[in-house]
Structure 1
């Protein structure tokens, strides 16, 4: 494995970081909002699924609520 001195390594890192396409502020905001919406929808789904399974088990085993 070839060894690179620290200065050359940092120069290579800086060059590679310059090639990165960074998202705009608007893209970041839209993506963040989409994540929050999906988390909210997942919470609702799992809450309803949990309630349905809980009631089904209570009905099957006669626990009554």
Structure 2
């Protein structure tokens, strides 16, 4: 590709861009909602695991008293 003609490059980029299939509005909305749902579920999971680990560490430290 070194030394390629800039006009040829632009033509190839336009040809590739023409092949792109954009998602519909409905697909975009559904995908966005799913991302928020999965992020929320992951946050809840990590919070729960963090609380369990913190409880376990607290119990270990109480044994030393």
Give the structure-2-normalised TM-score.
Answer: 0.86
Structure 2: distance between partners of 1:3 and 1:23: 35
Instruction: Report the equivalent of 2:34.
Output: 34
Shift of 1:39: 0.4
Instruction: Report the equivalent of 1:13.
Output: 13
- Please state if 1:50 is matched with 2:58: no
Residues 16-41 of structure 1: CA deviation (Å, up to 9, x unaligned)? 11011111111111111100000000
Compute the RMSD of aligned alpha carbons.
1.5
Give the structure-1-normalised TM-score.
Answer: 0.86
Q: Which runs of 5+ in 2 are unaligned?
A: none
Q: Which runs of 4+ in 1 moved over 4 A?
A: none
What is the aligned length?
63
